[in-house]
Amino acid sequence: MAEPLDSTRKRLLFHCTHMGMKENDVMFGAFAEAHLADLTDAEVKELEALLKNNDMDLFKWVMGQAEVPRTWDTALMKRLQDFNQTRNRHG
């Protein structure tokens, strides 16, 4: 049985599923549902900071449609990209 999410992770899960752009709700929401419990506290903080970026930028970065700025070109971004590429291949 999975451990319950702490309040920070619960808030972040809500944010990831209610971002403003439906495409991001799906991408970030699915990632959060699958991996939020496994993220380190540092990765949780990084994801919170990442989500302060513009929705269209986030979409393009994760989908590989735009170069990811050095600040956000991290292991977490690569996990987001890989997760969504795999998800898109398997429908």
- pLDDT tens digits in sequence order for the chain, 91 residues long: 355 679 999 999 999 999 989 999 999 999 999 999 999 999 999 999 999 999 999 999 999 999 999 999 999 999 999 999 887 776 5
Q: Which domains does the chain have, with CATH numbers?
A: 8-89 (1.10.150.250)
What tokens does 52 get? Answer: 């302060």
CA atoms within 13 A on the CB side of 78: 4
Distance from C-alpha of 45 to C-alpha of 1, rounded to nearest angstrom: 25
pLDDT score, position 4? 66
* Ramachandran class of 73: left when φ > 0, alpha when ψ lies in -120 to 50, beta otherwise: beta
Nearest-10 Cα torsion for 68, 44, 12, 29: 50
